[in-house]
């Protein structure tokens, strides 16, 4: 018969590992972590590319230098992670048109200001719409049309919403962002955490409570416990489950719940948007782009919104690496995931030749992550509609019987970030510990009654 543990944690990303660590520190040692892939880290994942470590998922520690200290920044400091300061705001002054000319900074600054004002206006209108106050609705702001307007709209909405509305990450932790540039990868933080409570040897986790390549397909839950069934036919039993899979996975059919999740839960899960964010890495034999730090981010203005718009050179992080990164989002990400890497390379090279001329060398290597088509991710991170009811995230987070939910998407203040995943892991495990304490109390009361 299957062995029974106190808690099963599904998923070994930052939230799952953090939750397990807090439980272990509080005396819950009989836990099992089931991870679908062959590694820990989830959306924190490095890849050796072009001679260096590049981050396919989370790349930045966002929110540093403010009134409160970002806990992930502290973890990074403790484990000596190498980071570089990033200044996104330069991007708007490095906008190339299709003939390779950089828009004069005055024009770029004006367009940027107009875009910010218009986004703020749009938000206000949505807010009045939301409250049903028809009298106050003003003219809708005009939508972006020219390539530079489209490029700025893309930067603003897909990268810099902090300029439009207060985002807790930057309000609480500060406005600075640091790129992780460490050969051991961002994931080194997770390995350091795992070492504190799992048996490891020479950086390898050997603890049998961590089970890799275990794809959870079904959760049977009742008042007395949870049975977890994996794709390879294994059965695990526990008193409680902490489910840390992404919002995209919750929206998919990967995991069946028996009995099914209640309607309030399903409705909340449907209401959260999934953002797809894809960093495409290109390796060159030589550098042909300006490598100054203030040219780290540059932008391509095309008549199609989001078409290879946002670029970064890696010379600040890894001088001499000759690597460029271009970021695509949402529909463009999905489109690129569906085509071959050769096709993507051709498109990217045509864009670079528009910006830097026909004589630049071809890339010698390309890496295209597939976050959307990865059935253990189904997207990059959660994105709650700006004017959304706080009840939605509460319902996404709320336990259903013995199943507890964690992960970046359950963080009310920091969803979409590594620190959101980390803090949610702490919150969920504390909530579960409290529930376990109450259950023990109830049990001992019943025993005294008998
Ligand atoms: P995950 O890391 O997704 O962990 C969940 C785990 O569950 C995964 O390991 C998965 O394999 C596993 N799993 C899924 N289904 C099953 C199943 N059925 N059975 C068993 N296991 C399963 N954040 C930042 O702070 N800064 C950034 O710069 C940044 N950039 C990002 C860029 C990209 C491209 C992406 C994808 C994300 C980025 N993020 C960034 C967000 C950040 O990576 C996430 O918020 C965070 O890592 C999520 O952690 P998590 O534990 O909630 O989920």
Asked whether residue 411 carries a pLDDT value surpassing 60, the answer given is yes
Asked whether residue 275 carries a pLDDT value surpassing 60, the answer given is yes
What pLDDT is stored for residue 246 in this prediction?
A: 98
35 lines ligand 1 (CB under 6 A): yes
Separation of CA 421 and ligand 1 centre (Å)? 8
Separation of CA 416 and ligand 1 centre (Å)? 9
Distance separating alpha carbons of residues 178 and 374, to the nearest angstrom: 27
Q: How confident is the model at residue 341 (pLDDT cuts 50, 70, 90)?
A: very high
Atom of ligand 1 nearest to the CA of 369: 34
Quote the ipTM score. Answer: 0.99
Return the best residue to mutate from 58, 73, 179 for the ligand 1 pocket (most ligand atoms within 8 A of CB).
58
Atom of ligand 1 nearest to the CA of 406: 52
Separation of CA 435 and ligand 1 centre (Å)? 26
Separation of CA 18 and ligand 1 centre (Å)? 13
Asked whether residue 54 carries a pLDDT value surpassing 80, the answer given is yes
| Phi (first) and psi of residue 409, to 5 degrees | -70, -10
190 lines ligand 1 (CB under 6 A): no
380 lines ligand 1 (CB under 6 A): yes
Separation of CA 424 and ligand 1 centre (Å)? 12
277 lines ligand 1 (CB under 6 A): yes
The structure's pTM equals 0.96
44 lines ligand 1 (CB under 6 A): yes
Separation of CA 43 and ligand 1 centre (Å)? 3
The protein residue with its alpha carbon nearest to ligand 1, atom 13, reads 11
What pLDDT is stored for residue 159 in this prediction?
A: 80
Return the best residue to mutate from 12, 42, 185 for the ligand 1 pocket (most ligand atoms within 8 A of CB).
42
Asked whether residue 141 carries a pLDDT value surpassing 90, the answer given is no
Mean pLDDT of 382-386: 87
Mean pLDDT of 399-424: 97
In the structure encoding, which two tokens stand for residue 38, read together? Answer: 């062959």
Tens of pLDDT, residues 110-136: 988 998 898 888 888 877 666 655 555
Distance separating alpha carbons of residues 175 and 169, to the nearest angstrom: 8
The protein residue with its alpha carbon nearest to ligand 1, atom 47, reads 43
What pLDDT is stored for residue 138 in this prediction?
A: 58
Q: DSSP characters for 99-115?
A: TSPBPPHHHHHHHHHHH
Distance separating alpha carbons of residues 136 and 74, to the nearest angstrom: 45
Identify whether the C-beta of residue 376 lies closer than 8 Å to the C-beta of residue 245.
Answer: yes
62 lines ligand 1 (CB under 6 A): yes
What pLDDT is stored for residue 161 in this prediction?
A: 78
Mean pLDDT computed over every residue of the chain: 94
Q: How much of the chain, in percent, has pLDDT values that exceed 70? A: 96
Tens of pLDDT, residues 286-327: 999 998 889 999 999 999 999 999 999 999 999 999 999 999
Distance separating alpha carbons of residues 263 and 220, to the nearest angstrom: 17
**3-state DSSP assignment of residue 358:** coil
CB-based burial, 57-95: b 16+ in 10 Å, e otherwise: bbbbbbbbeeeeebbbbebbeebebebbebebebbbbbb
Separation of CA 439 and ligand 1 centre (Å)? 31
Which of these, 153, 125, 151, lies nearest to 139 by C-alpha position? Answer: 125
Asked whether residue 39 carries a pLDDT value surpassing 80, the answer given is yes
379 lines ligand 1 (CB under 6 A): no
Atom of ligand 1 nearest to the CA of 279: 34
Separation of CA 170 and ligand 1 centre (Å)? 20
What pLDDT is stored for residue 229 in this prediction?
A: 98
What pLDDT is stored for residue 130 in this prediction?
A: 62
Which of these, 401, 408, 403, 400, lies nearest to 425 by C-alpha position? Answer: 408
Separation of CA 205 and ligand 1 centre (Å)? 20
Tens of pLDDT, residues 72-112: 999 999 999 999 999 888 898 999 999 999 999 888 889 88
What pLDDT is stored for residue 269 in this prediction?
A: 97
Distances in Å between the Cα of 446 and the Cα atoms of 6, 27, 442, 450 are 20, 23, 6, 6
| Phi (first) and psi of residue 264, to 5 degrees | -60, -35
42 lines ligand 1 (CB under 6 A): yes
Separation of CA 42 and ligand 1 centre (Å)? 5
Separation of CA 408 and ligand 1 centre (Å)? 8
Mean pLDDT of 212-241: 98
Which of these, 219, 9, 258, lies nearest to 227 by C-alpha position? Answer: 219
Separation of CA 350 and ligand 1 centre (Å)? 32
Q: How much of the chain, in percent, has pLDDT values that exceed 90? A: 82
The protein residue with its alpha carbon nearest to ligand 1, atom 9, reads 42
Atom of ligand 1 nearest to the CA of 244: 5
Mean pLDDT of 375-397: 92
What pLDDT is stored for residue 166 in this prediction?
A: 86
Separation of CA 88 and ligand 1 centre (Å)? 23
Mean pLDDT of 59-65: 97
371 lines ligand 1 (CB under 6 A): yes
276 lines ligand 1 (CB under 6 A): no
CB burial of residue 155 (10 Å; 0-12, 13-18, 19+): buried
In the structure encoding, which two tokens stand for residue 123, read together? Answer: 């938000």
């Amino acid at each position: 018969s299957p062995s029974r543990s106190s808690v099963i944690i599904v998923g070994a990303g930052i939230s799952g590992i953090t939750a397990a660590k807090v439980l272990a520190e509080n005396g819950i040692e009989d836990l099992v972590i089931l991870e679908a892939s062959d590694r820990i880290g989830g959306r924190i994942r490095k890849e050796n590319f072009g001679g260096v470590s590049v981050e396919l998922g989370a790349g930045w520690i966002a929110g540093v230098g403010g009134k409160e200290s970002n806990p992930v920044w502290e973890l990074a400091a403790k484990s000596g992670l190498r980071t570089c300061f990033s200044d996104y705001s330069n991007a708007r002054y490095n906008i190339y048109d299709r003939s390779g000319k950089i828009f004069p900074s005055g024009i770029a600054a004006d367009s940027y200001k107009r875009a910010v004002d218009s986004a703020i206006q749009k938000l206000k209108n949505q807010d009045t719409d939301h409250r049903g106050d028809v009298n106050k609705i003003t003219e809708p702001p005009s939508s972006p049309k020219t390539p530079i307007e489209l490029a700025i709209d893309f930067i603003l909405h897909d990268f810099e919403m902090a300029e439009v509305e207060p985002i807790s990450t930057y309000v609480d932790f500060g406005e600075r962002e640091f790129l992780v540039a460490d050969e051991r990868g961002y994931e080194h933080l997770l390995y350091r955490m795992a070492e504190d409570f799992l048996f490891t040897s020479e950086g390898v986790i050997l603890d049998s409570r961590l089970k890799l390549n275990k794809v959870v397909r079904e959760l049977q839950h009742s008042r007395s416990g949870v049975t977890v069934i994996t794709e390879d036919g294994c059965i695990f039993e526990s008193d409680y489950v902490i489910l840390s899979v992404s919002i995209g996975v919750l929206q998919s059919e990967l995991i069946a719940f028996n009995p099914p999740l209640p309607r309030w839960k399903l409705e909340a899960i449907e209401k959260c948007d999934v953002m797809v964010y894809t960093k495409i890495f290109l390796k060159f034999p030589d550098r042909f782009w300006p490598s100054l730090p203030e040219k780290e981010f540059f932008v391509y203005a095309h008549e199609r919104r989001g078409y290879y718009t946002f670029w970064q050179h890696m010379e600040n992080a890894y001088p001499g690496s000759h690597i460029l990164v271009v970021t695509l989002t949402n529909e463009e990400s999905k489109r690129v995931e569906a085509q071959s890497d050769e096709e993507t390379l051709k498109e990217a090279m045509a864009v670079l030749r528009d910006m830097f001329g026909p004589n630049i060398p071809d890339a010698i290597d390309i890496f295209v992550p597939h976050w959307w088509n990865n059935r253990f991710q189904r997207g990059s991170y959660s994105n709650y509609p700006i004017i959304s009811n706080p009840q939605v995230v509460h319902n996404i987070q709320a336990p259903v019987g013995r199943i507890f939910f964690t992960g970046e998407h359950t963080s009310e203040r920091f969803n979409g970030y590594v620190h959101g995943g980390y803090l949610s892991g702490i919150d969920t495990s504390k909530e579960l510990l409290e529930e376990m304490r109450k259950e023990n109390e109830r049990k001992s009361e019943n025993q005294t009654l008998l």
